[in-house]
Amino acid sequence: MHVLSRTRDTAVLQDPGPPPGPTAGELLRAARAAVGMSVEQVSAATRIRQAVVVDLEADRFESSAGAVYARGHLRALAHAVRTEPGPVVEAFGRQTGYVVPTVPAPPPVAVRPHPHDALDLPGAVPLERRRTWLPRVVLTALWLAAGALAVDTYRNLPPERSAETVLPSPSAAAPAAVASPK
């Protein structure tokens, strides 16, 4: 049996020999038969082509276009037939030698304490529980009061005067020439 393994950018066929225990395809086929699903039903449920499902159950992983895709297809098929994907993926790893690369966890970051947290005063409230919302509420109330006062002042202004009442007419502006006695 030839198995597809993925190295860097090239696919390599290798013959790892008979795997110990059941193969990934055997596990999937048995689980599918146990729930009474056909290949067509599994294909429709997972949207994986029927030819790929048949190949995976026959332990032919070449049609999956790579070990990563084959592993993903095996997981999806295991979920579709209501079985745990772990043993199926482990069997695939035994068959192909494909090991999922693990990324080491980053080291923990040292967190410096906040200066206010270091205070051990009686009755001191932790920083998370302080009332930081109170100043915001007070400022919002002040802005609303100032806006209401401005609107009220604008509404109570006297009506605008017309140009005639503000500026006298030209005839009234120039006094009549008074004749002086001679």
How high is the pLDDT of residue 170? 61
How high is the pLDDT of residue 153? 87
CA distances from 153 to 14, 145, 158 (A): 90, 12, 10
d(CA 54, CA 33): 13
SS3 assignment for the chain: CCEEEEECCEEEEECCCCCCCCCHHHHHHHHHHHHCCCHHHHHHHHCCCHHHHHHHHCCCCHHHCCHHHHHHHHHHHHHHCCCCHHHHHHHHHHHHCCCCCCCCCCCCCCCCCCHHHHCCCCCCCCHHHCCCCHHHHHHHHHHHHHHHHHHHHHHCCCCCCCHHHHCCCHHHHCCCCCCCCC
How high is the pLDDT of residue 96? 87
How high is the pLDDT of residue 97? 84
Would you give per-residue pLDDT tens digits along the chain (182 residues)? 445 555 544 444 455 555 578 999 999 999 999 999 999 999 999 999 999 999 999 999 988 888 889 999 999 999 999 999 999 999 999 888 887 777 888 888 877 766 655 555 566 666 556 667 788 889 999 999 999 999 888 888 776 655 455 555 566 555 555 555 65
> pLDDT tens for residues 134-165?
888 899 999 999 999 998 888 887 766 554 55
Q: b/e per residue, 31-68, with b = 16+ CB within 10 A?
A: bbeeeebeeeebbeebebeeebbebbbebbbebbeebe
